[in-house]
Structure 1
Amino acid sequence: MARELGFQEHAGDLAAAGSSVGSAVRLTLGLARALASADVAWAAWGGDDSPPQAAFDAPDPAAAAMAAAWSRWLTDSQLRELCRAAGSGGIGHAALPGKDEFASWLLAPLAGVAGVLLLARRAAGAFDAVAAAAAEEAALVLGELVRAAAVAGELLRQRNRAAALTEMLASLDPRASTEAVASAAAPVLRQLFGADRCVISRIRGSLREVIGLDTTFPEDDAWLGAAEPNADLDWLGLTKELGYTVVPDLRQVPTARAPRYLRVALEAGVRSVLRARLGPRDAPLGIVSLASRRPNAFTEADGAQLERIGRPLSLALRLAEAREEAETRARRAAEANRVVARIAGAQSHAELCRVLLGDLRALFGAAYAEAFWLPAESGPPCLHVSCEWLDDEGLRRLAETAPPTDHARLLVTDAAAEDSGHPLHRLLVLHGLRSCVRVPLQAEQGVRGHIAVWHTASGAFRDDDLRLLETIAVPAALALARAEADLARSRSEAKYRAAIAQTQQLVVLFDPGDGRIVEVNDYAARALGYEPAELVGRHIADLCTSPPDVLADDIREVLETGAFTAAERRYIRKDGSHIVVDLVASRVDVPGSRPLVIVFGRDISDQVALQRQLIQAQKMESLGQMAGMVAHDFNNILTTILGFASMLKRSPRLNRDDLESLQLIEEAARRAADLSGRLLAFSRGGLVRYGPVDLRDVVRDTLRLAEPALQRLRVEVSLPAAPMIVEGDEGQLQQALLNILLNAADAMPEGGSVAIDAFAEGDTAFLTVADDGPGMDEETRSRIFEPFFTTKPPGQGTGLGLAIVYGIVQAHKGTIAVDSAPGAGTTFLIALPLARQAALSAPRPQAAPEGDLVLVVDDDELVRRTTGTALAHLGFTAVEASNGRTAIELVRARPERFRAVILDLVMPGLTGADTFRGIHAIRPDLPVIICTGYAAEAHLDDELRRTAVAVVQKPFTPERLRQALERAGLAPVSPGR
């Protein structure tokens, strides 16, 4: 049934779209009825994805009641019948209720929409020409109003959808699990999009697990917790750049190679599907899937919005998942400590393996666990297993006849596809085991075997499972070795000392009673910068950075439980520096004496440093990308402001006040452009004058620029005799060096010295700037390249200086490092690749082109209009193209008509670089001026750099555009206009 939109109630979609639209419809129907002298004016319309709607104007109650009956009678098929009748000029055979009560009818189709305007009166006689004209004019107006209402309604619906999901996510408990987040989001999304089912799946390894479900289908709860392979992600195109896919009708999709769930969906009655990816394409977090019993239930606009409003859902799920993983790691670390404590108390080799393997199965939820151990002396290998359905004795015989030879660190996601060839592996696969994690047991004499756990599901283990098992393997290996040593105590002391001396780990034995070190191995002494004799007798607290109460708690735990593990503990070297150690401590029971504590540590200082560098680089990269995108959009806007401001200033009709206002606008826009340029420099860009640069000239010119600021400093410069040529922007390189020098001057207000040294090694040029100022602590040094980070008082620094330096160096394909410590000054080291000889050749001059048109290619309409207006002021005729494909077709159609092309680099679809190549293939001699709101270097490849006649950085003025055209050989016809 149609939704009745009688204007007495002011209800329905038109009113929701805005009172002005509803009033306009009411006024239009009233005018049409009055001009046509009709008793009733009634309009009906509909859309592909919405039921038909109706509105009427009828002052007579009887006529109004009849119009209301028509509205209730209206269906999709009846609306189509009325539209056909309107096309034929009469009401025809339309089954309109009460049609006989009116003698005269006039129908007119609504313009641009599926709808009709109906005028009726009881009096006999056809409507005259005035009535027909009024109906036609009213139908045009109503069509426009209906389209406006539809657009407004869609925008309102999209806004309400996003607001509803955001409000729901904001109301969640911050401690909510991923399942709770997904379960709360599913009904909201299903209702917002009018779907019959909403499924939210989380991607884990090679599988997708359903964690959120809201459905009207019977027996759908079976999907909750179900898992499907990720191999079918490409089937519906979910890995494409859009991040979503719309399937209008599943019955039209070939099912030959479709995944299982498609057949299940068809059997359940699903007709249309909308799916969106949660998270980035290269690391998807999950999938949102909406299903409907109706075909064509979802549009591309729905898909785009689902992908957009799915972003906060992705963030909420990722935060919940990160919290769960952190809690899981903490819980499993505690469980691992308990496992270590339990095996430390085992009295025999067999008891130790039984306890260890049972605990490992419980910890990892595994169906099978094994420990393989090679005895130190002669004797058969030992294979211990924990499993309900395999014969332990038979497996032990298998280990004796065909012992495993590979004990390396291993993570297997699909054991059936990764056959090692060993009989035990094949036996386990035959019994349904599919994934495995294995680590070596490293004891005093090297690898003595391994421990492994197996699961029946594919992809059940991840890297953190491997690391956790490694953590347990260290004390487990020690415990196994200790149990074995108990069988031959007379030889254990010598073997123990030999192993301790040779192991590539820090080993420290100390007395927990007084904290004095009893023994250390050579590796530990070297790592800490001591001779072994210097450490014996020292207090263990002299080496630890942990507070005394924390150290006391750690020792107490070792003594009470038998073992203790800790990650990333810091130890003090003899020279005052630190090393970072992952450690395992165990209690050593000494017959006839109080127990000792032995600490095994692995020096991970290099790994921690690399991880911090990686995190910093990733953070800088993300900030750079964000700054570049902001600057790009900002530059497009500023191009329009500066362009039209510059052209308006030339108008003779401006008075002095108007001219001063325009100058203020232009000055503000230029200041904004300067800030945008700084953001571009930080985002690794701004190289708009790319060419060979001698670093020696950069140093000399920068020192001349900075001379007033460096008067209090003593500057020493060391430059090589031979040129040091790099490819880049000389102005940007000067800016980078100038920022470093000004920072040094600010750091030494009372004076000091700065040394600048340039030299080349191999294919790299190096530039160092060292000062003897106060230096920086580690926290400050690690953040100096972050944008807006400053140590200066408020109002005395923007925090962009060194961030810009970082961006410039990165854009030149170089690296920058800083070395500093409090009281030791600061040294910056910049490394840049030397230019190749081919890059030093000059570009070929462009001949003046012929033709009378300039092609402007930009996806931003305001930029196209601004550029076209500026070209008109310069005497050129502009032809606009909103995308690369259109531009190529225009040039292909009339190549001789174009004198030049002004081309944006970054556009959706066909990029600027691809567009350039397409145009160049048609007319190699056609000059192309590159115009971009991003930094040119970010998107300008070598071919573009060599063949483009000019690069204009947004925002630009008409004057800069004129200069670029002159470089292209085009003289303006009327430059002063």
Structure 2
Amino acid sequence: MSSIRLPKPEDKVDLPAPVSELALLRGVLDVAPARVAVISRERRYLYVNREFAEFAGRPPEEIIGMTTVELIGKELSDKLMPISDRALAGETVNTEGWVDYRRNARRYIAYTFAPFGGGGGPPPAFINYMRDLTELKRREEEAAAQRAHLRAILEGIADGVNIVGPDARIVLANRGFLRMYGFPDRLATPGTPLADFVRERVRRNEFYPHEDDCRPEEDLVVTRVAQIMTAPIGRFEEMRPDGRCIEVRRERLADGTIVNTYVDITARREAERARRASRDALRRNERLSAIASLLAGVAHEINNPLAVVAAQSLLLAEEAEGTPLAERAEKVRLAAERCGRIVASLLASARQKPARREPVNLAQAVEAGLDLTIETARAAGIELRVDLEPGLPPISGDADQIAHLVGNLVGNARSALAGSADATRAQRITVSLRREGKQVVLRVADNGPGVPTALRERVFDPFFTTKPDGEGTGVGLALCRTIAKAHGGSIAVEDTEGGGATFVVRLPLAAG
């Protein structure tokens, strides 16, 4: 079997008769994408290729024999002289830069100056090999200018921006991002590992809810960096420790680069909450207006028969005077009068007349409210405990409205206990009145089923009720809140120790 023998460097290769080695060399140089010239020690051109001649705008035979001063001018020739001297001394020199030509204006040239010939002695000439990189350099400069422009824009905006390369190193982090997260300026240096940012946050004890802050620091850093680099694209919101809300948008480029933008939307969220609160307040006002109209109608209808009840109770009290029924008749008369005042108060509220304001003995007002419901509660087998602190200073308000508030709260507690009757457990309502600082606090507690946390605000909304259909109107607790606010106070619901609900009314003491 025959084998193929490759030529060795020392082997002579015979060219076809019509093609000489010189012609072959000229052919190669003429198609080379570079300008080539051989220049003597006297700085005369001995050879130029086609690319060089076309750039110079002269035929090669005209350039041969010309000096560099004659072809490119004295200024550029003098500038290149030190480099060509080094080539004539036997050194190969590479350099590049912008060159101003007389004919071809400003160009960016990569030069190679190399010694040529000599046979062991000083070379008689040098080769000037030039690559024109003008277009490439201009594109690079344009790209650099665009990057600088983009960086200037990003540095000038308040929003945060960072770009993370596929190698988990920072390509760009603007000032907005650094300020938003409190990072030092040194971390904005391109090439900074993403781990340095994560480590900074871990050392400030900024952990996510799912993270175990007892793990070693570097374990947390490595895990979080991996999560960031593999996290899906999209938008999410992050709550900062100082209460600010940051909207984060993440995009991933084809090469794995991650672009993150950060917008502080705290003001937007607060505005949205304010708008919701305003809408809720408007709805409450509309409901309260509806309640006011309803109460006005009801009060008007009740007023006439109530007048008859009041008159008959007065006559009954007079006739029962001196008999065993006198005390009961007097209670009926007083209750009828109180009902008349409550109706008048409801009418005044419906007509938006100023509420009555006078010193009120809270203990007496609470006892009056209990008188309206105590018998009903005891008849239902409910134990009623009353603990009123003696000697409380007065508040400024309407005693009948306070009594109405207490009656409503005790009635509400009675209904809650009735809906959860448990033969093994004694049912109990506790009414207490205490001074706390500059306020008087009324608590009406029961040991019933309690109020779920999700409903603790809604139970005060007009027409909202947790009672079965036909058993509640949803007006009582809304009216209690209206009365409490009209007296400069508040009402809230809490858990009762051991189970149940406690309604807490806080009222300010009278000034002075």
TM-score bracket for the superposition, by shorter chain length: 0.3 to 0.5
TM-score (ref. length: structure 1): 0.25
Higher relative contact order (CA 8 A, sep 6+): 2
**Larger CA Rg, structure 1 vs 2:** 2
